Amino acid sequence: MYIVHVASECAPVAKVGGLADVIFGLSWEHAIRGHDVEIIVPKYDCMRYDHVWGMSVSHSDLWVPWFGGSINCTVWFGFVHGRKVFFIDPHSNDNFFNRRTFYGCHDDVMRYAFFCKAALEFMLKSGKRPDVIHCHDWQTGLLPVLLAEVYQHHGMGAQRVCYTVHNFKHQGIFGRDILDATGLGRHDYYFSPTQLRDDHNAAVLNCMKGGIVYSNFVTTVSPKHAWEARHTPQGHGLGGTLNAHQGKFGGILNGVDYNTWNPELDGFLPCRYGIETLDDKYHNKDALRDRFWLYKSDKPIISYVGRLDDQKGLDLICHAAHYALSKGAQFVLLGSPSNNVIYNQFAHLRNQLGQSVDCHIELGFNEELSHLIYSGSDMMIVPSVFEPCGLSQLIALRYGTVPIVRSVGGLADTVFDKDHAHADLSARNGFTFNDLNNQGLESAMNRAISLYYDYPGHFRILMANGMRSDYSWNHPGTHYMNIYDLIRHK
């Protein structure tokens, strides 16, 4: 099968969060099964070009219709660790992707509307006719709209779209100007409630709703979150639309790329280890302490790696730091704040705890360092308000780092409490809590720290259970292939 992913991120070249990992991992899973898989992303100036091999011009004179005129683009091609990736590089005063940042610009919706249009125009002009175009998140929600309303009439009538929502919180809200820019026009038609009109604000349109309405199949990234999105406020207002399209909507748990995230092969680790050589994990714990000047003692290290966004339970993360220290544990955080207010909140935490020999707060994005933290920690907290899937707990499991998570979304689908889970003893792999407050978090952290000190043998069993579980792309790869097959033959 011929599959093209169109997305705003791809690890490790353009990575903000889990979306990037999914593009990287899922595309490879299908490629090694013999499918023809390509990826289209914007050519950002802030990409990690050191991970692109053989960058060359693939299409030098692509004119993309835009408002009344058109914008000239170069399309580049390169391999990203074996994946075939095309990079869209527009030349205009808008400088859509030369902003020294991936997201957070005032015209983000315009930037990605252009990207959708350019990706389709590129496929059209270069004769690419994939069986399935797989779009991701609000940034590519307009692609299936443009395909159905415009491009199918130009010879792309056979292409099917699978649309995956990685996060319902960001939906891409826009107005008439984007309809004019993309050539969709017909304001009244798109402002219909069954089309793109936002379900809660009749004055605006919604990219993600467009993706849901127009795609042949829609997924989100865990079964539990598929349910939450339809039946709880976690759909962020799209529950009604999802219910209307429930026949083509489901949840597929994300996988983790086990070539990248594998403690036996991981080139970033000072000492590689596996389930049979678990003691070697503690060389990484030593290295992590060396890196951050932490005191060497028998204390466990509890860590957090991830974006710092309201979604992630910021107050609980701060509380976890204080609570860990008060309970005789060390605490390490690597986090990328999503805005200045959050940056200041964690800079304050760093000031409060930074002098402690048991704590380190690192603000920023650092892929290499994250590997050391996953491997060198004993436990990892993920106290999210909502979590569509969550990859950090899956990576932690793989590295024998026991997750302590709030039981929502994909976290509930993947972490089974040592004491309370319905799962088999051999499937229990961490600690969970339900209540979104300090007491909830403390109950789980307390049990984890106590087990570490009082029953180290039992703690090890938990580590091994996690390392043994299979959260590779193997199963999800098959689920997505079944969906592609289904929509192809419809």
370 contributes a contact to ligand ADP by CB under 6 A: yes
Piece in contact with ligand ADP (CB under 6 A), picked from 100-108, 140-148, 197-205, 329-337: 329-337
**With respect to ligand ADP, which residue has the nearer C-beta, 185 or 364?**
364
Can you give the C-alpha Rg of the chain in angstroms? Answer: 23
Q: Return phi, psi of residue 397, to 5°.
A: -55, -45
Among 5, 13, 21, 428, binds ligand ADP (CB under 6 A): 21
Alpha carbon distance 125, 127 (integer Å): 5
| Region of residue 236 (phi > 0: left; psi between -120 and 50: alpha; otherwise: beta) | left
310 contributes a contact to ligand ADP by CB under 6 A: no
Of 86, 38, 98, nearest to 62 by C-alpha is: 86
Residue 402 DSSP symbol: E
Alpha carbon distance 72, 61 (integer Å): 6
Name residue, tokens 């990575």. 15
Among 389, 396, 411, 412, binds ligand ADP (CB under 6 A): 389
Of 124, 22, 161, nearest to 83 by C-alpha is: 22
430 contributes a contact to ligand ADP by CB under 6 A: no
Residues 6+ apart with CB under 8 A from 391: 18, 21, 254, 256
- Tell me the closest approach of the beta carbon of residue 384 to ligand ADP, in angstroms: 8
Residue 400 DSSP symbol: T
- Tell me the closest approach of the beta carbon of residue 335 to ligand ADP, in angstroms: 5
Among 179, 205, 305, 385, binds ligand ADP (CB under 6 A): 305
- Tell me the closest approach of the beta carbon of residue 167 to ligand ADP, in angstroms: 6
Kind and range of the H or E run holding 376 = helix 367-376
- Tell me the closest approach of the beta carbon of residue 250 to ligand ADP, in angstroms: 19
**With respect to ligand ADP, which residue has the nearer C-beta, 303 or 330?**
303
* Residue 45, both tokens: 């100036």
Tell me the number of residues near ligand ADP by CB under 6 A: 18
**With respect to ligand ADP, which residue has the nearer C-beta, 50 or 454?**
50
SS3 473: coil
335 contributes a contact to ligand ADP by CB under 6 A: yes
Amino acid (one-letter) located at 459: F
Among 10, 14, 18, 97, binds ligand ADP (CB under 6 A): 18
Amino acid (one-letter) located at 345: Q
Among 92, 259, 262, 366, binds ligand ADP (CB under 6 A): 366
CA distances from 339 to 17, 335, 363, 381 (A): 15, 12, 12, 21
Amino acid (one-letter) located at 469: S
- Tell me the closest approach of the beta carbon of residue 254 to ligand ADP, in angstroms: 7
Amino acid (one-letter) located at 401: T
How many CA atoms lie within 13 Å of 254's alpha carbon, on the beta-carbon side?
30
405 contributes a contact to ligand ADP by CB under 6 A: no
**With respect to ligand ADP, which residue has the nearer C-beta, 306 or 400?**
306
199 contributes a contact to ligand ADP by CB under 6 A: no
Piece in contact with ligand ADP (CB under 6 A), picked from 118-126, 232-240, 271-279, 361-369: 361-369
Among 375, 392, 401, 407, binds ligand ADP (CB under 6 A): 392
- Give Dmax (Cα) for the chain: 71
334 contributes a contact to ligand ADP by CB under 6 A: yes
Piece in contact with ligand ADP (CB under 6 A), picked from 18-26, 59-67, 315-323, 428-436: 18-26
Piece in contact with ligand ADP (CB under 6 A), picked from 117-125, 195-203, 241-249, 385-393: 385-393
CA 219, 225, 231, 232 torsion-angle sign? negative
Identify how many contiguous H helices and E strands the chain contains and give both numbers. 17, 17
Piece in contact with ligand ADP (CB under 6 A), picked from 50-58, 115-123, 301-309, 423-431: 301-309
- Tell me the closest approach of the beta carbon of residue 388 to ligand ADP, in angstroms: 7
Among 78, 235, 239, 306, binds ligand ADP (CB under 6 A): 306
Sites for ligand ADP among residues 241-280 (CB under 6 A): none
| Region of residue 79 (phi > 0: left; psi between -120 and 50: alpha; otherwise: beta) | beta
Among 59, 283, 307, 468, binds ligand ADP (CB under 6 A): 307
* Residue 450, both tokens: 């106590």
**With respect to ligand ADP, which residue has the nearer C-beta, 120 or 394?**
394
Alpha carbon distance 206, 116 (integer Å): 15
Chain contacts with ligand ADP (rule: CB under 6 A): 17-19, 21, 305-307, 334-336, 365-367, 370, 389-392
